[in-house]
Chains A and B, each alone.
Chain A
């Protein structure tokens, strides 16, 4: 297992190198001019040219690339072209809300979705199963922003239970931190609960027809034990895959939720950086997201073997 993990980690290097080259090339091929954002709409061409020169944007692409790679090798992601802030600092500022939102959503999702999926599988074809599936269809058919605005209207504006927007770090106290995260977590969970409940249901139904389930029941095992210990454990692989993909996408790309609830997360940062053509920030973020995906894939692969002993690396 350790050798497998080491091999996977080593394989990260060429992947990251390829990502770096592709991202750099795509950004330079995309129309846009960070100098125009800096100078404003009334700037003359001469001024724009001066700003480009001062930022090194007039250098040949290969020189810009080697400069960036040199920085990367020194562990420096560069500085924002617009604000001059180090990219690492910007990411550090924004990672907290994204992590809190991602982890909170996944915890709430798993707590609700897996029992729902198991119950639906257990009561397959019955009213309870159909009700859960109707809820699931609703969950991923209604756009997150609609759910978000409904929650804001009802729970924040009408009832005054939560603030409409904003983020407070955990260091400001648990209550202010949690109070601002509840609504976005609830809004996002609706989609993931629906998705994971459906996956759980179909996976559990698949293994419920296996011989080992019949054997467990024949031995007189309690139905709860059959479901949770035997069926769910053997149905874990596809569920883990969906959870893994969910976590990765939550951390890197919940732009709509972060926007509606004004959470200063990574998803918003990447959109802002792309709209402003802030190349160092976009490059740094995409490298980070690639690393997150690689790490989560590796974790999910390792967990497969924990849940399913037949899988060995």
Chain B
């Protein structure tokens, strides 16, 4: 700040002190209560984290609900609500005992029956739960604090499901709430987590307030991702939504908010220049971006055409357009994410560099007849807007006839479910991004599901991948799982199931008044202290 503006500021502050004093009195209601005001990546509207896989709803879930198990920074499963658990010698019967002192936000004790109902509802909605349930012969409460799960065959899926990071983690709810049909949103938001939801202050899409759950008994271990002690040091956390990111940055630099979950890359220099704001990458796993082909329709019903496209697109060019600063992105061919336990580099020579000559040659071999490639282009979400433009450019250079269709994200979501040919309003390619916390294994990663029309939009039909996914759910040894995921990686690239476009992290920014901000793939507000 220049000396002139400093002087102006000093004069103005002095002259308006009286006026501000009046304002301060009005503001002062509730003063003394420590509140963290955070601008989240989007406004919270859907409150049921079992029904919705949206990241903001998941983050809301972690505020008010707790999980039986958590995952730490070493990808180890750690007990959270569970005190102790036993596994039978045949690895088919699990007995879980809840730790002491767990209470719902309405004051009732957490009981085993609540957890049984919660697991059942979660399993109906979640992809991992749906795979798990055919292998479960019984879930029942033994007494008020213990329940058992009996499997038909050993699987690691039970523990992984109960500790999953994202999306739709297995959050525990009171039985009466967990009995809500799986297709309907729950109406009461009572958990046993470290914060309580303040229903009276909730304004959908605008404002949500959480207050410290004073009955919460944190674990004694240090906090690590979603495991360990969730110690809350402030009275309240308020999430406010600001649709204009520039406004959020201005508010952060002006001290009106304390925390900004994601700073857009183009605005980073503004916050980096402010010594009262700290820029930090908290989700170090980050996200990956990718594109999907429509396997049902021409031209991408032809494997060689898909291969040509995979060769054409350069990850570096996509990431330059999407992120810009190389500090925040890296190229990566792994469909389970570089940095995740099942990372595999197969296909890096195909999907990373961008080889137009090879793409042209493959396209010629494929007999491509000039069928237009329709690429869906969402223009209202910055993080999804750049990829289609770069893909279109690369494909045109390789010899494809491309039609880049601009629309809002909601229209993309609707159109991408259409299985019709392009001539009847169908599509050929869409791109999006996903959290690596969600995509780290063949169960959570919906992009590699290849069961034809039953799969996610794109509908690849590769029975070998489906067989391997099933094998993965039954494998319990890490080495065996790595072998399986390596095979899936090879098939996913060779068959053009998904086109990885690279990885990126989005930094957060927060006031230097905040200390103890934790790094985690999901945004958490425990452990944070706020100074004056």
Give the B-binding residues of A (Cβ under 8 A).
31-33, 36-45, 47-48, 50-51, 53-54, 80, 82-85, 90, 93, 149, 152, 156-161, 163-166, 168, 172-173, 175-176, 179, 259-262, 264, 268-269, 272, 275-277
Contact = CB atoms under 8 A, between A and B. Distances in A.
Contacts of A41: 53-54, 413, 432, 434
Contacts of A33: 410, 413-414, 417
Closest 9 pairs between A and B when the two form their complex, measured CB to CB:
A173-B26, A40-B53, A83-B204, A50-B183, A40-B54, A32-B410, A82-B45, A175-B23, A42-B53
Contact of A50 (B12, B182, B380, B411): B182
B26 A40 contact: no
Contacts of B242: 165, 262
B254 interface: yes
Nearest to B250: A164
A173 B250 CA distance: 24
B203 A157 contact: no
Given A83-B47, A159-B12, A172-B26, 8 more contacts: A33-B413, A40-B55, A42-B438, A43-B53, A80-B45, A83-B46, A175-B26, A276-B410
A149 B246 contact: yes
Given A31-B414, A41-B432, A275-B410, A166 B185 contact: no
Given A31-B415, A50-B183, A93-B203, A38 B52 contact: yes
Report, as a range, how many residues of chain B touch the other chain. Answer: 35 or more
Nearest to A273: B205
Contacts of A82: 45-46, 204
B45 A276 contact: yes
B432 A32 contact: no
Contacts of B246: 149, 260
B185 to A, nearest CB: 6
Contacts of B204: 80, 82-83, 85, 90
B25 interface: yes
Given A83-B45, A165-B250, A32 B52 contact: no
A179 B411 CA distance: 39
A38 B414 contact: no
Contact of A42 (B22, B415, B446): B446
Interface string B243-264: 1101100110110100000000
Nearest to A158: B5
Contact of A38 (B12, B46, B203, B446): B46
A182 to B, nearest CB: 12
A36 B13 contact: no
Contact of A277 (B46, B181, B410): B410
Given A164-B256, A275-B380, A276-B45, A36 B414 contact: yes
Interface in B411-457: 411, 413-415, 417, 432, 434, 438, 446, 454, 456
Contacts of B185: 38, 84
6 contacts: A42-B456, A51-B51, A54-B181, A159-B8, A164-B254, A275-B410
Contacts of B52: 38-40
A168 to B, nearest CB: 8
Interface in B361-404: 380
B446 to A, nearest CB: 5
Contacts of B33: none
Contacts of A50: 182-183
B327 interface: no
B125 interface: yes
B243 A259 contact: yes
Nearest to A281: B204
B9 interface: yes
Given A36-B410, A37-B410, A84 B187 contact: yes
Contact of A160 (B9, B125, B203, B251): B9
B203 A54 contact: no
A165 B5 contact: no
A92 to B, nearest CB: 11
B83 to A, nearest CB: 32
Contacts of A165: 242, 247, 250-251, 256
Nearest to A173: B26
B199 to A, nearest CB: 11
B167 interface: yes
A277 B45 CA distance: 13
Nearest to A149: B246
Contacts of A48: 417
Contacts of B206: 93, 264
Given A39-B52, A42-B53, A80-B204, A158 B9 contact: yes
A38 to B, nearest CB: 5
A198 to B, nearest CB: 30
Contacts of B51: 38-39, 51
Contacts of B256: 163-166
B89 interface: no
A46 to B, nearest CB: 8
Contact of A157 (B250, B407, B411, B432): B250
A272 B187 contact: no
Task: Give the interface centre of B16, B47, B205, B446 by most chain A CB atoms within 10 Å.
Answer: B205
B458 to A, nearest CB: 12
Contacts of B13: 160
Contacts of A53: 183
Given A40-B52, A262-B242, A272-B205, A45 B417 contact: yes
Nearest to A261: B247
B90 interface: no
Contacts of B8: 158-159
A218 B37 CA distance: 67
